Structure 1
Amino acid sequence: MKNSTRNYLIFGLIIFNIAIDQISKFWIRAHVEPGSQGEIIGDYLTLHNVENTGAFLGMGSDFSPVLKILLLNVLPIIVLGVVFFHIFRDKSLDRKSLIGFSCIIGGGIANIYDRILYGSVTDFLHIDLGGVFRTGIFNFADMSVMLGMGLLLISNFKKKKA
């Protein structure tokens, strides 16, 4: 893949992930009552408006303000910066890894943006497949990060097989 095409792919995916997440959160904040629950597909997929002051599943929401800033803002910014520079430096990364890292960076930036601007992250989707599979309440940035992690795992397993 040519360098310019590669760079456009990286920047395009990061910006796309941030934009989709921020547009969806803006819509939720404007149209869904805080703390409410509505059906999208019965009880299987529901819509909420929850402000998460912690990280994944609210972990860290009871930390002191200084610890929250360090662990939920500063540390993720450093990690995302390192990953960002890594994907530009390492030209041997395959397409799945590039897409995976770009999704992780885009989703991470979107959630950090919320934490800095609002002091919390807006979460709004919940899946419950009758007790067989159930999630916490999440957003598109969370989905981007999970998709990115999945792509990295797949890419890594394919490399190990070869």
Structure 2
Amino acid sequence: MKKKETIRLILILAIVALNIGCDQVSKSIVRQKIDYDENISIIKNHFILTKVENTGAFLSAGNNLPEAVRFILLSILPVLVLGYGLFYVLSKNKLSSGVQIGLCFLIGGGIGNVYDRILFGSVTDFLHLDFGIFRTGIFNLADVSIMIGIALLFIQSLKRKIIKPASLENNI
């Protein structure tokens, strides 16, 4: 049983590290190779690379806060939450695989963005999608990790709600 738990812990840390690594490598390349506000069309103006620095959170929320408040809300608080999240996923071995993977994506993406905020004072964003009625803000791979994590947790929540009522009906 101890070997199975060791493998689980290694996989959790590997998924978190892969999310952080992909994010940080992509941001490093963008910082070196793309100029600010340069637009590089990848797929006919639908998938565009453009480098911007975001000192706020999602869609620049909190960008205008005083620096000390922004540091507390966007650096210190997230470090505490992400630290607890990592502790939680590592210590709760009864969580479903989907929940564990979803949390790993959330934590990895969160760490990627917080790392940038602490090291550089801002987060490098560079991906933009524009499909007419579907248009995104500029984001990065950490944001993609976070959204995948949320989607996985949402799917797990739906599964639990669908499976539980069905199992309760069988017991009646």
For 1:46-61, what aligned pairs fall within 5 Å after superposition? 46-61=48-63
For 1:1-150, what aligned pairs fall within 5 Å after superposition? 2-131=4-133, 133-150=134-151
Question: Which has the larger displacement, 78-87 or 23-32?
Answer: 78-87
One-letter code of the match for 2:155? I
Moved runs in structure 1, 4+ residues, more than 3 A? none
User: How far, CA to CA, are the matches of 1:154 and 1:144 in structure 2?
Assistant: 15
User: How far, CA to CA, are the matches of 1:84 and 1:19 in structure 2?
Assistant: 16
Question: TM-score if structure 2 supplies the norm length?
Answer: 0.91
1:50 counterpart SS class: strand
- Cα deviation for residue 89 of structure 1 reads 2.0
Structure 2 unpaired stretches of 5+: 164-172
Question: Which has the larger displacement, 117-126 or 2-11?
Answer: 2-11
Query: Alignment length, in residue pairs?
Result: 161
Which structure has the larger Rg? Answer: 2
Percent same amino acid at aligned positions? 45
Cα-Cα RMSD? 1.1
Question: TM-score if structure 1 supplies the norm length?
Answer: 0.96
Tell me the equivalent position of 2:162. Answer: 161
